[in-house]
Structure 1
Amino acid sequence: MALLRYKNDKYLKQEESRQELGFGKQVGEAQRLVNRDGSFNVKRVGSSILDRINIYHELITCTWPQFFMIVVVYFMVVNLLFAGLYNVIGMEHLQGADMSTPTMRFMDAFFFSAQTLTTVGYGRIAPTGLLMSTVASLESLLGLMGFAIATGLLYGRFSRPIAHILYSDKAVVAPYLDMTGLMFRIVNARDNQIIDLSVEVNLSMLQKDEHGRKTRSYNRLHLERSQVNFFPGSWTIVHPITDESPLFGMSQEELLEKHAEFLILIKGTEDTFNQTVHSRSSYHAEEVIFGQKFVSMFGEIDSSGHVVLDLSKLSETNPVPLASELFPEE
């Protein structure tokens, strides 16, 4: 099999200079790359079930209601299984159990299982015989291991630093200095402090190559300010639309036609644990409003001398006329 002969490095240089965020060029037109919650629209197929299973990651990243529901379901299922096993072995081997009715026998077996699993052991019911004692011992071992894992997961969830940054519902194109700018706003929703906060915004659009095929292009947008040392209040992130901006001369209809998406990556240091935290989000062209400007979130200083920051105004905007070389007054 003959290999292609090297001719020139034009295409090689194009590929090396092309900005790539990791999504590739061949992406569906209507597909959103990053959801508002920061998750990616990628579905992996073709791998084995064992490769896809990551129980620790799922239990650490799931919501608190889901985590507690999993713990309760695990507790109930294990006790029901062992209660059934005790009934199969024979309730006469559980000294002190109520044998009056089948329901009472099962209930006593269930609560004995719960006491054995948690190693509480009130003492009213005790196993007799080798088989029953062996099963009860195995359940107590399972309980020690299970609750040790649950405790570790609980600690991991509490100790895991998270950047709980809120994004405005929309991005806006509004007057900025003597031009226009693309803007969106963020705020730290918690009382913990994030320092050395940096932001990166990339624009993804569909472009036609020299062969007429649609591929995605990526451009990093220059920001008015890409880093702040402290983040106690809100931060309006601005991309000035100069003649060097890929947005220069583009209307909202053109952004929609090109399926434009603004990909945001925020990185900072959470000072409580002194660890780096990240936050991701995006704005699709449908979520960019022209001729709106964010209202101030700051209120009057209260009686204790604190500046009031109203988080309910994070996405609140007012209409504003656009007047610049890009959008001249009529």
Structure 2
Amino acid sequence: MASTGGVTDSNPIRLVSTSGVTNIKGVGISGKRIHFFTDFFTNMIEIKWSWNVVIFIGGFTITWLLFALYYWLVCHLHGDFINYSTNDWNPCITDVKSFASTFLFSIETQTTIGYGSRSVTEECPVVYIGIFIQSIVGAGLQAALAGLVVAKIRRAKKRARTILFSTVACIVEEDGQMKLVIRVGDMRKSFILNVQVKGYFFQKMAAKSGKSYPVKYHPMTFKGEDSSLQIFLAWPTQLVHVIDERSPLWTMSREDLKRYNCELVIILDGTVAATSMPFQAQTSYLPWDILWGHRFDTLGTKVNKSGAYILNFANFHKTHALTTPVCSACDLKKMIDAGLPVPKECPKDSKHSQQPLSADEFEVRFQSADNDAYDQTTPVENINKLGVKFNSSDNSAFCHSTPDMNTRKRASVMASR
């Protein structure tokens, strides 16, 4: 079945990209340019460095030219250019004979260089006014440039790029509850303070053109592996969302999730310990990024000669399949309460399977509220790049990245018996 609208897993339409960029642009706002101009400094901080350089070079150059034109006009009206060679002539500005000379004098005045060959005399008081205004304008431009550079360097936006989110999310069963799990880690050694994570589950509606649009969102609560809202990111950890009555995934089974047109946005807030500046990192997951019946593989950990813990991020995005209920969390609770057997299956394939799969096996069909078909096809080559070999003997293992992994693993094995 062909995908519609040119939207595929390799080029999806997301509210938030996997790199954390928000894909939203507002149009039709009355007086938008005026509102942005009143917040000029914030605009300068948010735009690219290349535009900052162009704007400040243009600002300095324009002021030099304007004041050079002002000095040239004063000298021209005073007759300094005509009487330049006259010995007893008292000019407004010494050693000025052309516009190039006034331009150089303008640069020397604003930058306070003062080479010494050009100076102001008491012949033309109007020149004093130009020098007075230019000195204030030059000081203001230099202060603005220095403040902008400091503000752009100190902002913590770039810090978010060293936060690593797993490329997939997993849905697993633990202690009779279905849970959505995402792995997050920090590449840097410096600590992040006051880390909190929240999620938003966006419901989308597919139009006949094949494009999908968000129509409703549901907040989702994510906690650390210790069920705390404060996340400790000294090492990679897993963010856990319990699928309960308040969760938008409460009534979704594995097949429902495949057909649902949605997007899960994850937002991580924290404070950089080195600068005490708050920052935000975000990513998103589409339905084919959520693996039902998978857990993340354990990260390799060892201690070097100096006594430091060494974490191997090679398995950061890798998962393995587990025997998991295919029903919704709501139906699972009802079956457990009624003492009925719960149907479970172990996924045969996933994004991390090394087995070659046909494109038809990855075709996902969405159904919108108005029953318009919304087709998505996942390219096989992107999936095979994330290959990992599954070990069937480890399917019952509870693979967390925290130091209490062995305790959790034994508990999970005992629960499965």
TM-score by length of 1: 0.67
Report the CA distance between 1:324 and its aligned residue: 0.5
* Pair 1:190–1:76, CA change in 2 (3 A): farther
Secondary structure in 1 matching 2:345 = coil
> Quick one: which of 197, 200, 213 aligns to 2:198?
200
Which structure 2 residues correspond to residues 38-187 of structure 1 after superposition, within 5 A? 38-39=21-22, 41-48=24-31, 49-53=33-37, 54-89=39-74, 90=76, 92=81, 93-97=92-96, 99=97, 105-106=99-100, 108-128=101-121, 129-161=124-156, 164-165=159-160, 166-168=163-165, 170-173=167-170, 175=172, 177=174, 181-187=179-185
* Pair 1:163–1:250, CA change in 2 (3 A): farther
Report the CA distance between 1:58 and its aligned residue: 1.5
Percent identity over paired residues: 20
Report the CA distance between 1:31 and its aligned residue: 6.8
8 A Cα contact 1:182 1:238, kept in partner: yes
8 A Cα contact 2:166 2:317, kept in partner: no
* Pair 1:173–1:81, CA change in 2 (3 A): same
* Pair 1:235–1:318, CA change in 2 (3 A): closer
> Quick one: which of 345, 348, 353 aligns to 1:328?
345
Measure the CA separation in 2 of the matches of 1:285 and 1:259: 8
Secondary structure in 2 matching 1:202 = strand
Measure the CA separation in 1 of the matches of 2:276 and 2:17: 28
Q: How many residues align?
A: 286
Measure the CA separation in 2 of the matches of 1:295 and 1:70: 50
8 A Cα contact 1:201 1:263, kept in partner: yes
Report the CA distance between 1:68 and its aligned residue: 3.9
Measure the CA separation in 2 of the matches of 1:269 and 1:186: 16
Measure the CA separation in 2 of the matches of 1:73 and 1:169: 44
Report the CA distance between 1:295 and its aligned residue: 5.1
Aligned-CA RMSD value: 3.9
Alignment correspondent of 1:232:
234
Secondary structure in 2 matching 1:265 = strand
* Pair 1:109–1:241, CA change in 2 (3 A): same
8 A Cα contact 2:60 2:141, kept in partner: no
> Quick one: which of 260, 263, 273 aligns to 1:261?
263
* Pair 1:287–1:140, CA change in 2 (3 A): farther
Segments of structure 2 that go 5 or more residues without pairing to the other structure are: 1-11, 82-91, 207-213, 327-343, 349-417
8 A Cα contact 1:265 1:278, kept in partner: no
